[in-house]
Amino acid sequence: MAHVLIVEARFYDHLNDLLLEGARAAIEDAGHSHETITVPGALEVPGAIALAADANRYDAFVGLGVVIRGETYHFEIVAGESARGLMALSMDGLAIGNGILTTENEAQALTRARKSEKDKGGEAAKAALAMLALKDKFAH
């Protein structure tokens, strides 16, 4: 059984609740355990995963959050840099599922977050578990 850390950027509570519901269900349905920690925003998700990886207590990681486009360039920075950080960690050998939504508006985020619709939280958890299986395959 794998132990998965879910790192959530808790900026939009109602949207994060939906992402968490999907991620937790996917991990539990696969027979694994999980813990959840919260960070201030999407930019902090990769750093928290890097810190947690050093503890050697987790087999896989799921990053969750929502970034909605605003009127400034901040959206591009947060969306791009959080994804870049997660990709760098995955290239270092961590099994990570990226569930940080980057949308134009709240309606798009709701559609992607709801378990009954796109279930991006669940998809991110499944991606982390798939990468863990691949990591295990190459380790043996």
76 is in an annotated binding site: no
Q: Which residues contact 136 (CB under 8 A, 6 or more apart)?
A: none
**Is 32 an annotated catalytic residue?**
no
44 is in an annotated binding site: yes
- Quick check: 4 and 33 in contact, CB under 8 A? yes
72 is in an annotated binding site: yes
78 is in an annotated binding site: no
61 is in an annotated binding site: no
66 is in an annotated binding site: yes
d(CA 130, CA 11): 27
Calculate the alpha carbon distances from 53 to 40, 110, 131 in Å. 19, 30, 15
Q: Read off φ and ψ for residue 104, nearest 5 degrees.
A: -80, -30
Q: Which residues contact 108 (CB under 8 A, 6 or more apart)?
A: 101
75 is in an annotated binding site: no
What residues act catalytically?
74
Question: Residues annotated as binding site?
Answer: 11, 42-44, 66-68, 71-72, 98, 112
Question: Residues annotated as binding site for 5-amino-6-(D-ribitylamino)uracil?
Answer: 11, 42-44, 66-68, 98
